[in-house]
Amino acid sequence: MSVLADKNTRLLVQGITGGEGSFHTRQMMEYGTQVVAGVTPGKGGQKFDDRVPIFNTVEEAVRETGANASVIFVPPPFAADAIMEAADAGVSLIVTITEGIPTRDMITVKAFLEKKATRMIGPNCPGIISPGQCKIGIMPGFIHREGRVGVISRSGTLTYEAVKQLSDLGIGQSTCIGIGGDPVIGTTFTDALKLFNDDPDTDAVVLIGEIGGTAEQEAAAYIKSEFKKPVVAFIAGQTAPPGRRMGHAGAIISGGEGTAAEKMAALRDAGAHVCESPAVIGKTMQKALGLA
Amino acid sequence: MKIHEYQAKAILKQYGVAVPEGKIARTPEEAEAIARELGTDVVVVKAQIHAGGRGKAGGVKLAKSPEEAREIAANMIGMKLVTHQTGPEGKEVRQVLVEQGLDIAKEYYLGIVLDRSRSQLVIMASTEGGVEIEKVAAETPEKIIKEWIDPLTGLRPAQARKIAFALGLKGDAFKNAVKFLHALYEAYVQTDASLAEINPLVETRDGRVLALDAKMNFDDNALFRHPDYAELRDLNEEEPLEVEASKYNLNYIKLDGNVGCMVNGAGLAMATMDIIKLAGGEPANFLDVGGGASAETVENGFRIILSDPNVKAVLINIFGGIVRCDRVARGVIQAAKNVDIHVPLVVRLEGTNAEEAARLLDESGLKLQVANSLEDAAQKVVASLA
């Protein structure tokens, strides 16, 4: 089983006729995802690859096809508007792949989404996948296998690395969620952990964080107080120089937090199995599950 | 994107933020002329570099005459200013801001930044002006006033008044501070800033409120909305190799170690640096070549990494997901033929067609080691240093 996406998910693709959008739409369909509609303003009435109907608006696409999820490949200047259009049309899950959306736009989007019943994943993320059922995003499907471990990550290729380690050891995944590497994101580590906590088909979670912000510390506080399943964690950027990626005043709100060391300490304190090395994520999960 | 104090003040002024009168000087003579033009009893000469802590390092000085302003500027321009933010090598001062002296009654701190936990902007203010806000936050967090801004309303007048009252301002200074806050917020939003810090914000004895210092950073993702900001970029302030890398659209950050690394994806690039360190080496750089890792990007990556004389070995770590590893391997082989790779090279390709890729690399005749896992790669590259 899985969270967020499964074989009943009916996906629409915003930006389906663009380079990235068309390439990954084909990849998703090949994986078995039900892609029911595409949206490109001005190209309504056409068909993508002679199969998927294209609409001018998300509202029309939802009405005509019953789409309940949307993946967004729209370029940065127009991405925020695309997200809000999908939320307005009542789509319950939005996955925003687009990288490079201005923070100011995302602050507006985040406030807009608060009034809607829509969950957003991303932006600047690889998407989500429930192996064997549904892939919404750009990750390579073949490295995944069906199973009972959830994965939550701020990264792309580092997530693939961790997933491959799991799959090679025979540990399958329920759902892998790329929450995105931007400062303002739709779904946080804590939000994703809550989904896995309530999922009877997820036994444990891999959490992959990185330097900057305090989302991992907030996740640690939640893990300590409420999360019932084993967590294996890795934080990238133990060797990253201070001040290069973090805004000078960005750390102050959290009282100077934001380094890998602080995040690892918080997660350790919460009872998570924290990996020092990115090479042992799979093995650590194997131990946490009592398989080795 | 970072800019200089004088550039930040010029932008803030356009939005109605009160700043002292002043101009930028690139020679001692210009500094003298500006001081004369300003006509105040005292002028301030301020070194313009992209780093904080200039005051303590001798980069901010008072001049009591235009002649003295010239002398100070003569000493300052060309000097290497070492502050706690520049590193021990310091930064060369190429220009100074000459400003009118003010009759200061009190100093405050004012900043706007994104609060990532709330996904809202937060205005921070404090009566502890001129002190580093991190220090205030650590030692006396109760002295920091915070107001979060709802993006649907913007900064509300009641919030601006609340901050000004909390700072203990009265009369004209109170009114001017409220006006200042609204103008600063407007400037922040309209310019797509990622940081605005006024430290100190000063109150003069005649009730004016001005930005004595100003630091502004811009959101790189929003630069497409502000093409005119390109000319504000000062390449002298950036690491030359990073400037070179940016021409190739490579995301490169120079570090102090001896193991160069080339990786696809920022998270995996950081994790690769981490595992090099765990294996006993020191990463020489962060380099994300992006998803595709084409022959051209790999070749440019080689050129950048090998321009750093400290690099004694190179590790390539590519997770080929959608992109096939055999294609990446062919790219690496082609690039390696075009660039003189004079240090040991370890290549780890994982993902689609990884075995085919390893075979291609083995048969290429290039002097390189193929690694079959992240751990193996880190150990091999560190061993090659010996």
A220-267: pLDDT as tens digits:
999 999 999 999 999 999 988 876 652 222 323 334 568 899 999 999
Structure token pair of residue B225:
């909305």
* Contact between A181 and B267 using a beta-carbon 8 Å cutoff: yes
Q: Which of B117, B120, B352 sits opposite A140 (nearest CB)?
A: B352
- Which one is catalytic: B30, B32, B147, B197? B197
Please count the residue pairs, one from chain A and one from chain B, whose beta carbons lie less than 8 angstroms apart.
182
- Predicted local distance difference test score (pLDDT) of residue B131: 78
Q: Encode pLDDT of B64-110 as tens digits.
A: 999 999 999 999 999 999 988 888 889 999 999 999 999 999 999 99
DSSP characters for A90-137?
Answer: T-SEEEE------HHHHHHHHHHHTTSS-EEE-SSS-EEEETTTEEEE
* Contact between A76 and B351 using a beta-carbon 8 Å cutoff: no
Describe the crossing of helices A215-225 and A189-197 by its angle, rounded to 10 degrees: 30
Mean pLDDT across chain B, nearest whole number?
93
* Contact between B221 and A76 using a beta-carbon 8 Å cutoff: yes
Question: Which chain A residues contact residue B266 at CB under 8 A?
Answer: 155-156, 181
Question: Which chain A residues contact residue B114 at CB under 8 A?
Answer: 103, 107, 183-184, 247, 250
- Count CB-CB contacts under 10 A for residue A286: 18
- The single-letter DSSP state of residue A241 is P
pLDDT band at B289 (very low <50, low <70, confident <90, very high): confident
* Closest chain A residue to B323, measured at CA: A140
H/E stretch holding B337: helix B325-338
Q: How far is residue B70's CA from residue B93's CA, in Å, rounded to a whole number?
A: 15
Backbone dihedral angles phi then psi of residue A153, each to the nearest 5 degrees: -150, 150
Question: Helix, strand, or coil here: A155?
Answer: coil
Structure token pair of residue B273:
């640096």
* Contact between B267 and A157 using a beta-carbon 8 Å cutoff: yes
The radius of gyration of chain A's CA atoms, rounded to the nearest angstrom, is 19
Mean pLDDT across chain A, nearest whole number?
93
The count of residues in chain B is 386
Which residues lie below 8 Å from residue B272, measured CB to CB, with a gap of 6+?
Answer: A278, B261, B263, B283, B315, B317, B374, B378
The radius of gyration of chain B's CA atoms, rounded to the nearest angstrom, is 26
Question: Helix, strand, or coil here: A272?
Answer: coil
- Predicted local distance difference test score (pLDDT) of residue B292: 66
C-beta of residue A63 within 8 angstroms of C-beta of residue A6: no
Q: How far is residue A128's CA from residue A145's CA, in Å, rounded to a whole number?
A: 14
B109 is catalytic: yes
- Count CB-CB contacts under 10 A for residue B168: 12
Q: Which of B85, B195, B322 sits opposite A138 (nearest CB)?
A: B322
Its sign, for the CA torsion B237, B242, B245, B249, is negative
- Count CB-CB contacts under 10 A for residue A99: 17
Going by C-alpha positions, the residue among A150, A196, A194 that lies closest to residue A176 is A150
**Cα separations (Å) of B159 from B32, B123, B153, B155, B181?**
42, 10, 11, 7, 10
Question: Which chain B residues contact residue A73 at CB under 8 A?
Answer: none
Q: Which of A27, A103, A210 sits opposite B194 (nearest CB)?
A: A103
Question: Which chain A residues contact residue B374 at CB under 8 A?
Answer: 161, 278-279
Highest mean pLDDT among A258-262, B99-103, B324-328, B355-359: B99-103
- The single-letter DSSP state of residue A236 is E
Compute the nearest-CA separation of A237 from chain B (Å).
5
- Tokens 């995996």 — which residue? B268
Q: How far is residue A106's CA from residue A85's CA, in Å, rounded to a whole number?
A: 14
Report helix, strand and coil shares of chain A as percent, to nearest 5. Answer: 35, 25, 40
Lowest mean pLDDT among B61-70, B266-275, B351-360: B351-360
C-beta of residue B175 within 8 angstroms of C-beta of residue B157: no
Q: Encode pLDDT of B47-64 as tens digits.
A: 999 988 898 899 999 999
Residue B358 exposure: Cα atoms within 13 Å on the Cβ side: 14
- The single-letter DSSP state of residue B237 is G
**Cα separations (Å) of B21 from A59, B43, B93, B98, B203?**
54, 10, 21, 9, 15
Determine the average pLDDT of the residues in A57-83: 98
- Predicted local distance difference test score (pLDDT) of residue B114: 93
**Amino acid (1-letter code) at residue B271:** A
pLDDT band at A193 (very low <50, low <70, confident <90, very high): very high
E-strand stretches of B75-185: 80-81, 91-92, 96-100, 104-115, 120-126, 144-149
Question: pLDDT > 70: what percent of chain B?
Answer: 99
Backbone dihedral angles phi then psi of residue A186, each to the nearest 5 degrees: -75, -40
Strands A273-275 and A231-236: parallel
Strands A93-96 and A119-121: parallel
Determine the average pLDDT of the residues in B183-189: 98
Its sign, for the CA torsion B357, B363, B367, B373, is positive
Q: Which of B111, B117, B134 sits opposite A256 (nearest CB)?
A: B134
Neighbouring-strand partners of residue B251: B288
* Contact between B117 and A247 using a beta-carbon 8 Å cutoff: no
Q: Encode pLDDT of A80-136 as tens digits.
A: 999 999 999 999 999 999 999 999 999 999 999 999 999 999 999 999 999 999 999
Question: Which chain A residues contact residue B145 at CB under 8 A?
Answer: none
* Contact between A139 and B114 using a beta-carbon 8 Å cutoff: no
- Which one is catalytic: B68, B99, B108, B109? B109
DSSP characters for A277-292?
Answer: SGGGHHHHHHHHTT--
Q: How far is residue A34's CA from residue A133's CA, in Å, rounded to a whole number?
A: 9
- Predicted local distance difference test score (pLDDT) of residue B291: 67
pLDDT of B326 above 90: no
Q: How far is residue A85's CA from residue A61's CA, in Å, rounded to a whole number?
A: 12
- This model of the complex carries an ipTM of 0.93
Strands B193-204 and B209-211: antiparallel
- The single-letter DSSP state of residue A74 is -
- Count CB-CB contacts under 10 A for residue A7: 12
Q: Encode pLDDT of A131-165 as tens digits.
A: 999 999 999 999 999 999 999 999 989 999 999 99
* Contact between A153 and B319 using a beta-carbon 8 Å cutoff: no
Q: Encode pLDDT of B194-248 as tens digits.
A: 999 999 999 999 999 999 999 999 999 999 999 999 999 999 999 899 999 988 8
Backbone dihedral angles phi then psi of residue B104, each to the nearest 5 degrees: -85, 130
Which residues lie below 8 Å from residue B16, measured CB to CB, with a gap of 6+?
Answer: B179, B183, B186
C-beta of residue A16 within 8 angstroms of C-beta of residue A25: yes
Active-site residue set of A: 248
* Contact between B113 and A153 using a beta-carbon 8 Å cutoff: no
Question: Which chain B residues contact residue A181 at CB under 8 A?
Answer: 266-267
Residue A100 exposure: Cα atoms within 13 Å on the Cβ side: 11
- Predicted local distance difference test score (pLDDT) of residue A82: 98
The count of residues in chain A is 292
Backbone dihedral angles phi then psi of residue B54, each to the nearest 5 degrees: -70, -35
CA torsion angle A104 A109 A114 A117 (round to 10): -170
Question: Helix, strand, or coil here: A23?
Answer: helix
Which residues lie below 8 Å from residue A107, measured CB to CB, with a gap of 6+?
Answer: A184, B114, B119, B120, B121, B151
* Closest chain B residue to A140, measured at CA: B321
Question: Which chain A residues contact residue B267 at CB under 8 A?
Answer: 153-159, 181, 208, 210, 236
Neighbouring-strand partners of residue A11: A35, A69
Task: Give the residue from A25, A235, A253, A274 with the most B CB atoms within 10 Å of its CB, the best one to mutate.
Answer: A253
**Amino acid (1-letter code) at residue B131:** V
C-beta of residue B300 within 8 angstroms of C-beta of residue B252: no
- Predicted local distance difference test score (pLDDT) of residue B249: 83
Q: How far is residue B157's CA from residue A281's CA, in Å, rounded to a whole number?
A: 51
**Cα separations (Å) of A1 from A6, A71, A95, A136, A137?**
8, 21, 19, 16, 19
DSSP characters for B249-280?
Answer: T-EEEE-SSSEEEEESSHHHHHHHHHHHHHTT
Strands B193-204 and B104-115: antiparallel
* Contact between B270 and A211 using a beta-carbon 8 Å cutoff: yes
- Predicted local distance difference test score (pLDDT) of residue B367: 87
* Closest chain A residue to B263, measured at CA: A157
